[in-house]
Amino acid sequence: MVRHRVVRRLRHLVAPRLAILPCDALMVVRALPPAAGSSAAELADDLDAGMRGALRKLYASTS
């Protein structure tokens, strides 16, 4: 199934990025239907952008 393929790709992309999160952080990654047609590089770019935005908000709220 396409959805499971996207989940596997995202799981593979998220694993090495977990180290940049605070140890008590929780992260939810949600893929919208257009993600099924995205390349791994596009998914990685979107994931990185989302994580940067989330971390920016997290650190702004703790300052």
Tell me the per-residue pLDDT of 3-59, one tens digit each, with 9 for 90 and over: 789 999 999 999 999 999 999 989 999 988 999 999 999 999 999 999 999 999 988
pTM metric for this prediction: 0.86
So what's the pLDDT on residue 54?
Answer: 92
So what's the pLDDT on residue 11?
Answer: 94
- 3-state secondary structure at position 55: helix
So what's the pLDDT on residue 62?
Answer: 76
Q: Which two tokens stand for residue 26?
A: 């929780």
SS (H, E, C) 2-53: HHHHHHHHHHHHHHHHHHHCCCCCCCCCCCCHHHHHCCHHHHHHHHHHHHHH
Domain-by-domain residue ranges, the chain?
2-62
Q: Which two tokens stand for residue 6?
A: 């996207």
